[in-house]
Amino acid sequence: MVTYLDRACIATLAPAIQADLSLSKEQMSVVFSAFALAYAMFEIPTAWVADRLGSRQVLTRIVLWWSAFTMATGAALNLTSLIVIRFFFGAGEAGAWPCVSRAFSRWVPVREQGRVQGIFFSGAHLSAGLTPMVALALNNVFGWRVVFGFFGLIGVVWAAIWAQWYRDEPSHNPAVNPAEHALIATGRPVIPPASREGWPYWRRLLMHRNTLPLCLGYLPNSFAFYFCITWLPTYLKEKHGFTAISLGFFAGLPLMAAVVGDLLGGVATDFASRQLGLRLGRSGLCCLGNLLAGVAMIGAVFTSSPIVAILLISLAVMATMFTLGAAWATCLDIGGSHVSVVSATMNTAGQIGAIFSPPLVTWLLAWYGDWNAPVLVIGVMFIVGAACWCLVDPRDRAFG
């Protein structure tokens, strides 16, 4: 929830930032992409470190870094400084979700891992859904710079609590009694220490049959989500004429719908995996969710009603977030002792989508002169993603 405060905040306050620093849409797209580029570059290296040092140290450092650069964003003086700040921001925040996946692989019973992933993502998206309203309210009183300073302090508090309480293994936490430890370990395969195999290790990861379709299947999710937290408020204002009074609510609506998708998807993947097996419970669910998301997003292009359009986009976001629990649980299924790196590989593909999302949206808008073009492209990407998930088999582990 903490790490998503900033992403939704900068999207919501983009008009104020652009006006204050005299930035165009194209320049603001570069700012958005600078964060995603650095995030993609440092995601796998950070996850590799987490597999060796543990989530406690790495995630504490990540959130403290997040706090520092959230506050630094509010101190930007011009385009160059804002790009530099957002690039280093992305470099430092990279690896947060793979670290969390690693924590889940150690602390959560196998039969509940999809459900817990769903709860985790619902928290992140609830934060992103509520942030536009909070950010706009604070901006009206204090200005956009103070908003970033206020949000940055929240991460410092979280990091202090996390470092004090969390331990990388349940057995290392004195609050975990033997019965609880036995419950957590039920059904969990023996996870050996992370290996240091060099190039053979990376070749096995990159050439594994699941890696490419897993990455391509996840890419539309991040592309669409980044559209929602960057250009969606502007799309609603320019395409459908939403006013400032309603903009905060409708800009956050897809992310609020995402919370429902997260929770339902997490429960559904665990239930379906027990009843139908891992292939249908993970990959089948992801295929279905992407297909529904594609149909809904394409439908938003062909409606003349602003309300119907945002409801269809919200349905598409809910459908793709319905797949998150299954997608990240798949990384736990196939990752073994390298859960962080496998998760980071999939998430890096998502970040590649996030890198190209803002500039591609502005390019399509400039080329076709209509907001329908980027929305249609996102819909087609979901259809392709559904086909890719048909090729993923979570029963085939990449590592022991």
Q: pLDDT (tens digit, 9 = 90+) per residue, 218-269?
A: 999 989 988 887 788 888 888 877 776 677 678 778 888 888 998 898 889 9
Which has more pLDDT, 187 or 60? Answer: 60
pLDDT surpasses 80 at 397:
no
At 245, the amino acid letter reads: I
Percentage of the chain beyond pLDDT 70 is: 94
pLDDT band at 334 (very low <50, low <70, confident <90, very high): confident
DSSP class of 284: I
pLDDT at position 116: 87
- Mean pLDDT, the chain, whole residue set: 86
pLDDT score for 253? 85
Whole-number pLDDT of residue 20: 92
Q: Which positions ≥6 away from 387 have C-beta within 8 Å?
A: 287
Q: Spell out the domain ranges in the chain.
A: 2-185+199-389
- Grade residue 399 by pLDDT with cuts at 50, 70 and 90: low
Which among 37, 187, 163 is positioned nearest to 112, based on CA atoms? 187
**Residue tagged 């249609």 (tokens):** 376
Tens digits of residue pLDDT in 188-228: 665 555 555 566 666 777 777 888 899 999 999 989 988 88
Report d(CA 325, CA 64) in Å as an integer. Answer: 26
Instruction: Tell me which residue of 301, 374, 371, 290 sits closest to 324, measured CA to CA.
Output: 290
Surface-to-core class of residue 313, CB atoms within 10 Å of its CB (0-12 exposed, 13-18 middle, 19+ buried) = buried
Cα distances (angstroms) measured from residue 346 to each of 42, 46, 221, 277: 13, 14, 11, 22
* Closest listed residue to residue 28, CA positions, set 254, 317, 352, 361: 361
The CATH homologous superfamily of the domain defined by 2-185+199-389 = MFS general substrate transporter like domains (1.20.1250.20)
Structure tokens given for 51: 């597999």
Over residues 131-156, the mean pLDDT reads 89
